[in-house]
Amino acid sequence: MTRSNQPFACVRTRREFFTQIGNGFFGTALAGMLAQEGLLAAGDSPTSVLPRLHHPPKARACIFLFMVGGPSHIDTFDPKPELVRRHGQRHDFGGASQITQSASGQLMGSPFRFPRSGKSGLPISEILPALAECADDLCILRSLHTDTAAHGAACLQMNTGFPRPGFPSMGSWTPYGLGLANQNLPGFVVLGATPFAGRLNWTSGFLPRDHDGTLVASGNRPLSNLQPTSNSTEQRSQLDLLEQLNRRHIERDPGNSELSARIASYELAFRLQTSAPEAVDLSNESDRTKQLYGMNERTTESFGRQCLLARRLVERGVRFVELFHQGWDTHGNNDNEHRRLCGAVDVPIAGLLKDLKARGLLDETLVVWGGEFGRTPVGSGGRNHHANAFSMWVAGGGIKGGISHGQTDELAYGIAEDPVHVHDLHATLLHQMGLDHERLTYRHNGRDFRLTDVGGEVVRKILA
């Protein structure tokens, strides 16, 4: 068989043809073996799952509750009695740093009490009373650190592993590695407000474009264009014709992943019209469930709706759901703003954890809470950016509950014990989903890239 310059001619040699046929049979057999081993979800097709699982997963999905702006670790999950005792004193931490905005100034202790909660006795700020009821499910990481105190770059690093644009987000790496558990829904869904650096936080970067995050709006119409403009038979015929034409172009340009992704997106859009309306429709949820998420109160209704949507989406097979909540950049009026912000998310997040647990989903769903960095222990009314040390928490998905990991120093400025870099966090989350962060790679510009760049270690002390 020879190559031809004629339009739409076949450009495969006989060797390439039989190689592709062999790979197809191998893929089908592999999918069957993965299903038998429990590593391939029911309904996955050979094309949606490649052999990237490296060990049996503890979790099949992740919900990332991203608090945009950087919540104060000092006022939420990291009590510092010494900082309170020395409140108002002038202190210099030893020079300026690119990972904090304030290395000197007046020490600013938290005004909030930290009662011990649950059987584990975890100290959690009094401004998070509903979440405190879930203390025994939480693993509080008190020693997070990242590489920049600039909002845009820090948001990108927390989501993509890199403080600059152009790289795939964790939400994209997850379905790339795991495949789709539900062929009729996206693998990665984004809810809520737009963070710093915008959609670059949920882009697929150089991964195939069909792993981009799908943005779902709040309100009664979270997804637009779900109603077909023609009957399903006519629409199916149109898509089939469009696919034929697109595949002819792929034969001429077999390395064009953009075109392959476009075909996949058309097919997904068609399937979404039958599956997505039910997935995002909350009308069948009971009043008791809505109340659990705080949807009966004005201050918690919006975020409660998003948390309930997140539960419904992972319940239906979406691999990664990210919720963005704005307003945590408290340069002024830090104390009152944290009261208000925690009041808006406390009940919805506790409701999400309790609902997942009651449905048997928490064991197989990772829930992550945090922002792009923390806040400084010095300030006057407000706190500035602080990437040197801050807190996040993880629950479910095979993570130990009722524990804290890592320590900051007595003034919450630096890390005193068990530092956890953002790469370590990403490595750990991927590990729980059956993915080795060093082996989950994608060839781009002559290099094998990964979510954790050239760093990252699994935080094994927190694994159940």
SS3 215: strand
Q: Are 251 and 20 in contact (CB under 8 A)?
A: no
Q: Is 339 in the same domain as 407?
A: yes
pLDDT value at residue 43: 35
In terms of residues, how long is the chain?
Answer: 464
Q: Is 233 in the same domain as 118?
A: no
pLDDT value at residue 279: 85
Residues 345, 71, 327, 297, Cα dihedral to 10°: 10
Q: Is 142 in the same domain as 68?
A: yes
Choosing from 51, 67, 97, the residue where a domain stops is 51
> Considering the domain boundaries, does residue 188 fall inside one?
yes
Q: Are 429 and 159 in contact (CB under 8 A)?
A: no
pLDDT value at residue 100: 95
> What residues are paired with 144 via a beta bridge?
390, 420
Range of the domain at 253: 225-274
Instruction: Transcribe 28-70 into DSSP letters.
Output: HHHHHHHHHTT-S-TT--TTT--S---S--S-SEEEEEEETT-
| Per-residue pLDDT reduced to its tens digit, 375-394 | 999 999 999 999 999 999 99
Number of domains in the chain: 3
Q: Is 207 in the same domain as 337?
A: yes
3-state SS of 342-381 is: HHHHHHHHHHHHHHHHHCCCHHHEEEEEECCCEECCECCC
| Per-residue pLDDT reduced to its tens digit, 150-170 | 999 999 999 999 999 999 999
> Considering the domain boundaries, does residue 438 fall inside one?
yes
Q: Is 312 in the same domain as 286?
A: yes
Average pLDDT by stretches of 10, the chain with 464 residues: 39 44 39 41 40 88 98 98 98 83 96 98 98 98 97 98 97 96 92 94 93 80 54 63 69 64 59 70 95 98 97 97 98 98 98 98 98 97 97 98 98 97 98 97 96 98 98
**Residue 239 to residue 109: CA distance in whole angstroms:** 61
Q: Is 349 in the same domain as 440?
A: yes
Q: Is 125 in the same domain as 238?
A: no
Q: Is 255 in the same domain as 181?
A: no
Q: Is 378 in the same domain as 419?
A: yes
- Both tokens assigned to 454: 């050239």
Q: Is 421 in the same domain as 324?
A: yes
pLDDT value at residue 455: 97
| Per-residue pLDDT reduced to its tens digit, 183-217 | 889 999 999 989 999 999 999 999 998 899 999 87
